[in-house]
Amino acid sequence: MTGFLQNTFNGLVSGAFYALLALGLAVIFGMLRVVNFAHGAFYMLGAFGAYILLAEVGVPFWWALVLVPTGLGLFGMLLERAFVHRLTRLDPLYNFLLTFGLTLILQDVVKSRYGIQSSPYATPAELGGSVDLGLFDFPTYRVFILLFAVAVCAGVWWLLTHTRIGVVVRAATERPELTRAFGIDVGRWVTPVFGFGVGLAGLAGVLAAPMRAVNPLMGADLIIVVFAVVVIGGLGSIFGSVAAGFGIGLIQAWGEAYAPPIVAQTLVFIVMAAVLLLRPAGLFGREESSA
């Protein structure tokens, strides 16, 4: 029982990363109809941002948690204005190529400066211990990630449901043409929303730095699973992305603990295939209207 609970907790921690990344992807897709293939690279930049701040400037983890997502958010806004924006009216393939190209460029820039070998980043001392959860001890840092990610997801949920920006974003996500017809300038919100999504990826990267290898390719493997998560949750569905993120984390952890390795390795994609067969729009997605 204890082992099962421990695996469940760890699954939720992995799921927290998926949820944060999928949330950003979903927000961006909803508003811009852009499948952001550079999301993994932004996650990687988040981790490197934390590393650079600590190793080269001496800025600790806590500040990185604020500074890196903010900086990356601004960088995202700049990219949106400079590139993504110009391509949104064209075939979606153009933005796919753009964001894919961006990934390669960002990876190579980081690789040329910091090499392929992982860069060291230690767990902040305050979070180095473990917490007694009754049946077992659990590393404090993992508890922190879990609470923090849940808080961020809840915060985003509150923003979307209780603020005017949220109403516009949700309306534009679900019925872009109708929202415009009401005289709401959807275009105004596109850039900040893109920046926000990029900032969330950066935040996940900062959180990953102490417990995962910080290297230029760290986003490349992960993003494949995150895309599966978004598809399972329903493309564009904000709630679906978060729920599927945590769900996939759990399934992977249980799979690794209780299923043969070959099954554990492909479990996410088995689940994705099954979901797509039963609900082609994903668990929480709606069929796209032709409008």
Partner 1 sequence: MRTTMGVAAASAAVLLIAGCGGGGPRSSEGEKLTDGKIVLGVLNDQSGAYSELSGKNSVKAVEMAVADFKAKHGDKAVTGDITVVTADHQNKPDVANTRAAEMYDRKAVDAIFDVPTSSAAEKVADVAKEKRKPYFNITAATTTLSGVKCNKYTFHYAYDTYMLANGTGRNSTEQGARNWYMVYPNYQFGQDMEKSFSTAVEAAGGRVVARDAAPFPNTSGDYSTYLLKAPTLNPRPDVLGTMQAGAELVNLVKQYNEFKLRDKGIGLAVGLMFLTDIHSLTPAALSGTVYTDAWYWNYDVQNRKFADRFQAETGTRPTFAHAANYSAATQYLEAVQASGSDDADTVVGALEGKEVEDLFLRNGKIRAEDHRVVHDAYLAQVKPAVEVTEPWDYVKILKTIPAAEAFKAPSPDCKM
Binding residues for partner 1 (CB under 8 A): 3, 6-7, 10, 13-14, 111, 115-120, 122-123, 130, 139, 141-142, 208, 210-213, 215, 217-218, 221-222, 224-225, 249, 252-253, 256-257, 261-262, 264-265, 268
Rounded CA separation 9/5 (Å): 6
Burial readout 37-73 (b: 16 or more C-beta within 10 A, e: otherwise): bbbbbbbbbbbbbbbbbbeeeebebeebbebbbebbb
Q: Supply the minimum distance, in Å, between the C-beta of residue 215 and partner 1.
A: 6
Q: Which is nearer to partner 1, 133 or 159 (CB)?
A: 133
What is the three-class DSSP state of 58? coil
Q: Supply the minimum distance, in Å, between the C-beta of residue 254 and partner 1.
A: 9
Q: Which is nearer to partner 1, 16 or 186 (CB)?
A: 16
Which amino acid would we find at residue 159?
L
Q: Which is nearer to partner 1, 3 or 280 (CB)?
A: 3
Q: Supply the minimum distance, in Å, between the C-beta of residue 246 and partner 1.
A: 13
Under 8 Å between Cβ of 252 and 268: yes
Element (H, E) at 52: helix 39-52
Element (H, E) at 217: none
Q: Supply the minimum distance, in Å, between the C-beta of residue 132 and partner 1.
A: 13
Beta strands in the chain (DSSP E): 130-132, 137-139
Under 8 Å between Cβ of 280 and 41: no
Here the tokens at position 222 are 């992960």
Burial readout 179-204 (b: 16 or more C-beta within 10 A, e: otherwise): beeeeeebeebbbbbbbbbbbbbbbb
Q: Which is nearer to partner 1, 22 or 193 (CB)?
A: 22
Q: Which is nearer to partner 1, 70 or 123 (CB)?
A: 123
Q: Which is nearer to partner 1, 40 or 199 (CB)?
A: 40
Q: Supply the minimum distance, in Å, between the C-beta of residue 168 and partner 1.
A: 35
